[in-house]
Structure 1
Amino acid sequence: MFERLFPRRKAKAPPLPQPNAQLALGALLVRVAFADRQYRASEVGQIDRILAATFGLKPLEAAKLRATCEALERDAPGTPEFARILRDEVPYTDRRALAQAMWSVALADGERDADEEVMLENIEEALGLSADDIADARKTALNDD
């Protein structure tokens, strides 16, 4: 009875942090994984491993970062804005490595998906990678598969 008289209000979610290179990378990795409308445990694990290795995080820290990136990916700017942050803050050679990491997320579930590949191509172009580097990243990823 009291619930009807005094309904509980949902607590407001804390505001999302301003994207930086770390959050932008995580959000783009999540975006690649979601591109096929399936978010599998293998993709989540791969994202966590990439975040841990890239930023020197412990597994729990990487998982927390990924959770923040998931929220950011849902509610924040589009791919071009995230890519701009990475273009501004990450050297070109490291952006090429990021493309490889994104491919590893897309292929983590053991399946190739056209939507994921289109998303990857859009991100790679937005990162300012050359056509040759995009082709190399794709070729390397598919040969490792």
Structure 2
Amino acid sequence: MGDRPVRGTLSSRSRSSALEAATARAGVVVALLVGGATVAVCVIAVHPRWWGLVLGLAATAAALWALPDRWWARTPFALGWAVTVLVATGGRREGDFVIASDPGGYTVLATVILVTLTGALALRPRRPGAGEDSGSAGPAS
């Protein structure tokens, strides 16, 4: 009985694999923060043209749709995007603004709300068995 490991403890192998997984996930979070900020800078750069606004918002929506619905994926991308746009709304030293107060600028600012909500929805707890087929064809009769 003295040679067996105590139940519930992690072996050194499983501890190292858990550490590797956490390190990899942290790297993904940082990359997605930077990716969200990069997409936001691109949206801000092209939003004065109608086709640029459409292209930028489509790229943002496509990225959010393609990312997994997990806290470590959608949320950092949305956070990087929203924070970058909000920082850009401040005035410049010259007295002008990066995001103009025109319909395109207001569309970008309204998109901040949608992107933030999408990122926040990824934080909701997952229900066990959600999305799995339970085998029942409908309500019991």
- The TM tier, using the shorter chain, reads 0.3 to 0.5
- Structure number with the bigger relative contact order (C-alpha 8 A, sep ≥ 6) is 1
Larger Rg: 2
TM-score between both structures, scaled by the size of structure 2:
0.33
**Structure with a larger share of its residues in helix:** 1
TM-score between both structures, scaled by the size of structure 1:
0.33
